[in-house]
Amino acid sequence: MIANTSMAAARGVRGFTLMEMMIAMALVGMALTIAFSALRFASRSWERTDALGSELDQLRIASSVVRRQLNQAQAIRPDEARRDLMFSGGPHSLEFVAPAPVQGGRLSGLYRYRFRFDDEMQGKALWLDYRPWFPGGDPGWQGELSTSLLVSGLQDGEFAYHADMSSSGEPRWQAVWDKPERLPTMVRMVLQLPERSTPWPDLVVMLPVTGGVR
Protein backbone atom coordinates (compact mmCIF):
# COMPACT_ATOMS: atom_id res chain seq x y z
CA MET A 1 0.00 0.00 0.00
CA ILE A 2 2.79 2.39 0.88
CA ALA A 3 4.62 1.56 -2.35
CA ASN A 4 1.54 2.27 -4.45
CA THR A 5 1.08 5.65 -2.74
CA SER A 6 4.73 6.68 -3.44
CA MET A 7 4.40 5.76 -7.11
CA ALA A 8 1.21 7.78 -7.43
CA ALA A 9 2.88 10.81 -5.82
CA ALA A 10 5.85 10.49 -8.19
CA ARG A 11 3.53 10.44 -11.20
CA GLY A 12 1.73 13.58 -9.91
CA VAL A 13 5.00 15.68 -9.72
CA ARG A 14 6.29 16.14 -13.27
CA GLY A 15 9.20 18.37 -14.51
CA PHE A 16 9.34 21.01 -17.29
CA THR A 17 8.97 19.75 -20.81
CA LEU A 18 11.46 20.73 -23.53
CA MET A 19 8.91 23.06 -25.10
CA GLU A 20 8.29 24.87 -21.82
CA MET A 21 12.05 25.29 -21.30
CA MET A 22 12.42 26.78 -24.79
CA ILE A 23 9.54 29.21 -24.22
CA ALA A 24 10.99 30.27 -20.86
CA MET A 25 14.44 30.84 -22.39
CA ALA A 26 12.91 32.86 -25.23
CA LEU A 27 11.06 35.07 -22.76
CA VAL A 28 14.22 35.61 -20.71
CA GLY A 29 16.14 36.48 -23.89
CA MET A 30 13.50 39.02 -24.92
CA ALA A 31 13.56 40.62 -21.49
CA LEU A 32 17.38 40.88 -21.57
CA THR A 33 17.28 42.38 -25.08
CA ILE A 34 14.75 45.01 -24.02
CA ALA A 35 16.76 45.83 -20.90
CA PHE A 36 20.02 46.12 -22.89
CA SER A 37 18.36 48.35 -25.52
CA ALA A 38 16.96 50.63 -22.82
CA LEU A 39 20.37 50.86 -21.16
CA ARG A 40 22.08 51.67 -24.45
CA PHE A 41 19.48 54.33 -25.25
CA ALA A 42 19.94 55.90 -21.82
CA SER A 43 23.73 55.85 -22.24
CA ARG A 44 23.50 57.61 -25.60
CA SER A 45 21.11 60.17 -24.14
CA TRP A 46 23.56 60.90 -21.34
CA GLU A 47 26.39 61.25 -23.84
CA ARG A 48 24.36 63.66 -25.99
CA THR A 49 23.41 65.66 -22.90
CA ASP A 50 27.05 65.90 -21.80
CA ALA A 51 28.15 66.90 -25.32
CA LEU A 52 25.44 69.57 -25.51
CA GLY A 53 26.39 70.92 -22.10
CA SER A 54 30.05 71.10 -23.10
CA GLU A 55 29.17 72.85 -26.36
CA LEU A 56 27.02 75.44 -24.59
CA ASP A 57 29.74 76.10 -22.01
CA GLN A 58 32.24 76.67 -24.81
CA LEU A 59 29.89 79.10 -26.56
CA ARG A 60 29.19 81.00 -23.33
CA ILE A 61 32.91 81.37 -22.59
CA ALA A 62 33.68 82.50 -26.16
CA SER A 63 30.89 85.11 -26.09
CA SER A 64 32.01 86.31 -22.67
CA VAL A 65 35.62 86.78 -23.81
CA VAL A 66 34.58 88.69 -26.95
CA ARG A 67 32.20 90.92 -24.99
CA ARG A 68 34.68 91.62 -22.19
CA GLN A 69 37.51 92.67 -24.49
CA LEU A 70 35.39 94.71 -26.89
CA ASN A 71 33.86 96.54 -23.94
CA GLN A 72 37.36 97.92 -23.28
CA ALA A 73 38.42 98.76 -26.85
CA GLN A 74 40.51 101.93 -27.02
CA ALA A 75 40.64 104.59 -29.74
CA ILE A 76 44.43 104.66 -30.09
CA ARG A 77 46.64 105.73 -33.00
CA PRO A 78 49.75 103.69 -33.86
CA ASP A 79 51.86 106.89 -33.87
CA GLU A 80 51.50 110.67 -33.89
CA ALA A 81 51.90 110.95 -37.67
CA ARG A 82 48.79 108.92 -38.50
CA ARG A 83 45.09 109.61 -38.04
CA ASP A 84 43.79 106.06 -38.42
CA LEU A 85 43.15 104.07 -35.27
CA MET A 86 44.37 100.69 -34.12
CA PHE A 87 41.12 99.08 -35.19
CA SER A 88 40.50 96.86 -38.19
CA GLY A 89 37.30 94.97 -38.88
CA GLY A 90 36.31 92.49 -41.57
CA PRO A 91 33.73 89.71 -41.79
CA HIS A 92 36.10 87.04 -40.44
CA SER A 93 38.70 89.00 -38.50
CA LEU A 94 38.65 91.81 -35.94
CA GLU A 95 41.65 93.64 -34.45
CA PHE A 96 41.79 96.29 -31.73
CA VAL A 97 43.71 97.50 -28.67
CA ALA A 98 42.36 97.10 -25.13
CA PRO A 99 43.69 96.74 -21.58
CA ALA A 100 44.74 93.29 -20.48
CA PRO A 101 42.53 91.54 -17.91
CA VAL A 102 43.13 92.67 -14.36
CA GLN A 103 45.98 90.76 -12.73
CA GLY A 104 46.64 91.01 -9.02
CA GLY A 105 44.10 93.81 -8.68
CA ARG A 106 45.70 96.08 -11.28
CA LEU A 107 45.90 96.47 -15.03
CA SER A 108 49.00 95.09 -16.72
CA GLY A 109 49.09 97.43 -19.74
CA LEU A 110 47.58 97.49 -23.21
CA TYR A 111 47.35 94.48 -25.50
CA ARG A 112 46.55 94.09 -29.14
CA TYR A 113 43.78 91.55 -29.75
CA ARG A 114 42.63 89.70 -32.83
CA PHE A 115 39.53 87.53 -33.09
CA ARG A 116 39.49 85.41 -36.24
CA PHE A 117 37.39 82.68 -37.82
CA ASP A 118 39.56 80.01 -39.46
CA ASP A 119 38.73 76.86 -41.35
CA GLU A 120 39.26 73.50 -39.66
CA MET A 121 38.53 69.89 -40.62
CA GLN A 122 34.96 70.06 -39.34
CA GLY A 123 33.79 73.58 -40.12
CA LYS A 124 35.22 76.74 -38.59
CA ALA A 125 36.80 77.77 -35.30
CA LEU A 126 37.02 81.09 -33.47
CA TRP A 127 40.53 81.97 -32.28
CA LEU A 128 41.94 84.76 -30.13
CA ASP A 129 45.46 86.12 -30.74
CA TYR A 130 46.99 88.69 -28.41
CA ARG A 131 50.30 90.36 -27.71
CA PRO A 132 51.48 93.38 -25.68
CA TRP A 133 51.12 96.73 -27.42
CA PHE A 134 53.23 99.80 -26.85
CA PRO A 135 53.73 103.02 -28.89
CA GLY A 136 56.17 102.57 -31.73
CA GLY A 137 56.06 98.77 -31.48
CA ASP A 138 55.61 96.29 -34.31
CA PRO A 139 52.03 96.79 -35.58
CA GLY A 140 51.91 93.36 -37.24
CA TRP A 141 51.39 89.86 -35.94
CA GLN A 142 54.83 88.45 -36.64
CA GLY A 143 56.97 87.28 -33.78
CA GLU A 144 55.94 86.05 -30.36
CA LEU A 145 52.23 86.08 -29.59
CA SER A 146 49.73 84.08 -27.57
CA THR A 147 46.84 82.18 -29.16
CA SER A 148 43.73 80.60 -27.63
CA LEU A 149 41.01 78.49 -29.22
CA LEU A 150 37.64 79.88 -28.08
CA VAL A 151 35.15 77.62 -29.87
CA SER A 152 35.36 74.97 -32.61
CA GLY A 153 32.95 72.92 -34.69
CA LEU A 154 31.12 75.95 -36.09
CA GLN A 155 29.34 75.86 -39.40
CA ASP A 156 30.32 79.48 -39.98
CA GLY A 157 30.91 82.74 -38.17
CA GLU A 158 31.19 86.42 -39.00
CA PHE A 159 31.50 89.92 -37.60
CA ALA A 160 29.52 93.00 -38.56
CA TYR A 161 29.91 96.66 -37.61
CA HIS A 162 27.32 99.27 -36.78
CA ALA A 163 27.62 102.43 -38.83
CA ASP A 164 24.93 105.09 -39.01
CA MET A 165 21.21 104.66 -38.62
CA SER A 166 19.21 104.09 -41.78
CA SER A 167 16.38 106.40 -42.84
CA SER A 168 13.95 104.09 -41.00
CA GLY A 169 15.88 104.45 -37.76
CA GLU A 170 17.11 100.85 -37.80
CA PRO A 171 20.80 100.04 -37.15
CA ARG A 172 22.75 99.69 -40.37
CA TRP A 173 25.34 96.92 -40.27
CA GLN A 174 28.29 96.51 -42.62
CA ALA A 175 30.70 93.61 -43.12
CA VAL A 176 33.86 95.76 -43.27
CA TRP A 177 34.67 98.75 -41.11
CA ASP A 178 35.76 101.44 -43.58
CA LYS A 179 36.05 104.44 -41.26
CA PRO A 180 39.65 104.24 -40.00
CA GLU A 181 39.52 107.47 -37.97
CA ARG A 182 36.73 106.32 -35.66
CA LEU A 183 35.48 103.20 -33.95
CA PRO A 184 32.12 101.60 -34.73
CA THR A 185 29.29 102.16 -32.30
CA MET A 186 28.63 98.42 -31.96
CA VAL A 187 30.09 95.12 -33.12
CA ARG A 188 27.97 92.06 -33.84
CA MET A 189 29.24 88.47 -33.81
CA VAL A 190 27.17 85.73 -35.45
CA LEU A 191 27.96 82.08 -34.69
CA GLN A 192 26.33 79.58 -37.03
CA LEU A 193 26.17 76.16 -35.40
CA PRO A 194 25.66 72.80 -37.14
CA GLU A 195 22.07 72.12 -38.16
CA ARG A 196 21.58 69.56 -35.37
CA SER A 197 22.42 72.16 -32.71
CA THR A 198 20.23 74.71 -30.99
CA PRO A 199 20.61 78.19 -32.59
CA TRP A 200 22.92 80.51 -30.65
CA PRO A 201 21.80 84.16 -30.27
CA ASP A 202 23.83 86.89 -31.96
CA LEU A 203 26.22 88.79 -29.71
CA VAL A 204 25.99 92.60 -29.98
CA VAL A 205 28.57 94.64 -28.05
CA MET A 206 28.54 98.41 -27.66
CA LEU A 207 32.02 99.90 -27.70
CA PRO A 208 32.89 102.34 -24.89
CA VAL A 209 34.15 105.03 -27.33
CA THR A 210 33.22 105.66 -30.96
CA GLY A 211 35.68 108.38 -31.89
CA GLY A 212 38.21 110.80 -30.56
CA VAL A 213 41.84 109.73 -30.57
CA ARG A 214 43.47 108.88 -27.25
For the segment 31-48, the average pLDDT, to the nearest whole number, is: 59
Highest mean pLDDT among 33-37, 83-87, 93-97: 93-97
Specify if 193 maps to a domain: yes
- In a domain? residue 9: no
Structure confidence at residue 143 (pLDDT): 64
Question: What distance separates the 2 farthest-apart alpha carbons in the chain?
Answer: 128
Taking 70 as the threshold, does the pLDDT of residue 28 lie above it?
yes
Rounded Cα gap, residues 121 and 116, in angstroms: 16
Domain interval for residue 166? 57-206
Indicate the pTM of the whole model. Answer: 0.69
Structural domain contains residue 31: no
Q: Which H, E and C letters describe the chain, residue by residue?
A: CHHHHHHHHHHHCCCCCHHHHHHHHHHHHHHHHHHHHHHHHHHHHHHHHHHHHHHHHHHHHHHHHHHHHHCCCCCCCCCCCCCCCCCEECCCEEEEEEECCCECCECCCEEEEEEEEEEECCEEEEEEEEEECCCCCCCCCCCCCEEEEEEEEECEEEEEEEEEECCCCCEEEECCCCCCCCCCCEEEEEEECCCCCCCCCCEEEECCCCCCCC
Q: Where does the pLDDT of residue 70 fall: very low under 50, low under 70, confident under 90, or very high at 90 and above?
A: very high
**Is 178 a residue whose pLDDT tops 60?**
yes
| pLDDT attached to residue 14 | 57
Q: What is the rounded CA–CA span in Å between residue 138 and residue 131?
A: 10
Whether residue 46 has pLDDT greater than 50: no
Confidence (pLDDT) at 52 = 46
pLDDT for 4: 54
Quote the CA–CA distance of 152 and 150 in Å, as a whole number.
Answer: 7
| Residue 213 domain-assigned (yes or no) | no
Residue 199 in domain: yes
17-21, 102-106, 148-152: segment of lowest average pLDDT: 102-106
Domain assignment of residue 17, yes or no: no
Which among 116, 119, 96 is positioned nearest to 208, based on CA atoms?
96
**How high is the pLDDT of residue 2?**
47
- Overall number of domains in the chain: 1
Q: Regarding predicted confidence, which is higher, 15 or 81?
A: 81
In a domain, 83, yes or no: yes
Q: Is residue 98 part of a domain?
A: yes
What angle is formed at CA 128 by the lines to CA 75 and CA 134, rounded to 5 degrees?
Answer: 40
Mean of pLDDT over the chain? 77
